[in-house]
A and B are shown apart, each in its own frame.
Chain A
Amino acid sequence: MKDFHEYIDEYVAGKLNSEDTKAFEEAMKSDEELAKVVENYQAAKDISSSLVEMDVLNKLESWDDNQSEGKTEAEERAIKRNNRISLILLSLLAAFIIGYFAYQFITTDNNTTEKTQVNPLYALGYEKPYDESTVKSAEAQEIDNLFARGKYYIAINDWENAQLTLEEAISNTDNKDSLSAMHYWLAHVFLNTQSWKKAEGEADEVTEPDQKKEIQSWLNKIK
């Protein structure tokens, strides 16, 4: 036997044979710590046996203290549950806000993309025609002249109204020069809405050579 401490339980219980018992007792003479442990063995075992009860009591009393401070377990659970609900609601609100802005961003981006797609000509250096006199008018409805109103809608990128107004103007005009100019502007409306065939059809109606050439030039570039 070298590690005598391993045999303390057996020694105290009288389970060692006489030879080992003698060796153990010899070891105690030279090992004061071993001797003290054996001397206090029963007291140590009794105390150790009660450790679990004392540990449990200490724990329960600390929980009691929490209760007396006004936070019962049930209340703590309720608080945690409420916190969880608040967290979920906040998360939902945050998700809604993020979703809303994401939607706005995406739709705005789509519009931008659409515009980019509608106006591939712009990448080629295209610029829509601009009539400063019509743009100065505050409201389209204030412009009596249909042609001028059509040009105003073009200036503000309202292509649908621009088309309707110019088509109405064309149907109400017999003047060839005016008609050519109207078709020219309407052709630009179709260039901006990527309605290439319609733009081509309008270009055919333009009698002023430079304007006709201009529309056809853009149509050729886009092809």
Chain B
Amino acid sequence: MNKQPNNTIQQVFELIRSDEKSRNNILRDLYNDDKLRSMVYNFIQQKGGSKEDARSVFNFSLAKFVKSVLSKKDLKINSSINQYIYGIARFTWYDEINQKPEYKEFDESYMTEIVKTPNRLELEEQKILLKGLMDQLMKNCKEVLMYWANDFSMKEIAEKLGYKSFKMAKKKKYECLKQLTSYLNDHPELKEKLK
């Protein structure tokens, strides 16, 4: 990852948690990291996966990495970021092919939780189901709800998204929740499928 020489792991975490632009910059660096990509691709293809599987697992692992950084404030990585993402990819693929290897370097229960809730196929399905919602939700609503659901305080959300006070952030969150609720009421099948 290009950013690593200049940023410590904690700095990368902070950038991911700070705002969308910084998050995307880190994401782009990881996406363009040929070494990381070839590690994941080689592993998946050696374990019987296709190139398309490898691409999908690679993307899924990056998404899960970002998600774990956002949702787990006390996340600690003893190895490098690349090793952690590679670990997510291996957990994901072994879970899908019903193998259970031992990983001493990772918190196995947390890694299992990360890759299984939702897992790759469920997430792909959710993505398709919620495409309409993603298109309809206002951009700042997506950010507010995303931070809220990942247990950021209203004060933190106000600071990150530039609201004058946490009360303003709360008001915005309520508006966004109403928008999301309205969408769910218009698409009752979604709630059933996402249960």
Q: Which residues of A contact B (CB under 8 A)?
A: 3, 5-6, 8, 33, 36-37, 39-41, 43-61, 63-64, 73-74
Q: Does B59 contact A (CB under 8 A)?
A: yes
Q: Pull 18 A–B residue pairs with CB atoms less than 8 Å apart, ordered by A.
A: A3-B171, A5-B170, A5-B174, A6-B170, A8-B174, A8-B177, A40-B180, A45-B148, A47-B133, A49-B150, A50-B130, A52-B67, A53-B66, A53-B123, A57-B60, A60-B31, A73-B32, A74-B32
- Chain B interface mostly: helix
> Is A43 in contact with B118, judged by CB distance below 8 angstroms?
no
A73 to B: closest C-beta gap in Å: 5
> Is B184 in contact with A48, judged by CB distance below 8 angstroms?
no
Q: Which residues of A contact B27 (CB under 8 A)?
A: 56, 59-60
Over the window 2-32 of chain B, the binary record of Cβ atoms lying under 8 Å from chain A Cβ atoms (1 yes, 0 no) is 0000000000000000000000100110011
Check A60/B63 contact, CB under 8 A, given A50-B123, A54-B123, A55-B142.
Answer: yes
B190 to A: closest C-beta gap in Å: 8
Q: Which residues of A contact B140 (CB under 8 A)?
A: none
Q: Does B127 contact A (CB under 8 A)?
A: yes
Q: Which residues of A contact B177 (CB under 8 A)?
A: 8, 37, 41, 44
Given contacts A6-B170, A47-B130, A64-B59, 10 further A-B contacts (CB under 8 A): A3-B171, A37-B178, A40-B181, A40-B184, A45-B148, A46-B194, A50-B126, A51-B142, A54-B123, A57-B59
Docked CA distance A193–B178 (Å): 93
B113 to A: closest C-beta gap in Å: 13
Q: Which residues of B contact A51 (CB under 8 A)?
A: 134, 142, 145-146, 149
Q: Does B167 contact A (CB under 8 A)?
A: yes
B29 to A: closest C-beta gap in Å: 10
Q: Which residues of A contact B150 (CB under 8 A)?
A: 49, 52
Residue of A whose beta carbon sits closest to that of B182: A36
Residue of A whose beta carbon sits closest to that of B181: A40
Q: Which residues of A contact B32 (CB under 8 A)?
A: 73-74
Q: Does B38 contact A (CB under 8 A)?
A: no
Q: Does B104 contact A (CB under 8 A)?
A: no
Q: Does B50 contact A (CB under 8 A)?
A: no
B191 to A: closest C-beta gap in Å: 5
Residue of A whose beta carbon sits closest to that of B137: A51
Docked CA distance A162–B180 (Å): 97
> Is B70 in contact with A40, judged by CB distance below 8 angstroms?
no
Q: Does B90 contact A (CB under 8 A)?
A: no
Residue of B whose beta carbon sits closest to that of A55: B142
> Is B127 in contact with A57, judged by CB distance below 8 angstroms?
yes
Q: Which residues of B contact A43 (CB under 8 A)?
A: 184, 191, 194-195
Contact residue among B24, B178, B180, B181 (Cβ-Cβ distance under 8 Å from A59) = B24
Q: Which residues of B contact A33 (CB under 8 A)?
A: 178, 181
Closest 10 CB pairs of A and B: A48-B149, A48-B145, A49-B149, A5-B174, A56-B63, A60-B59, A53-B63, A51-B146, A40-B181, A73-B32
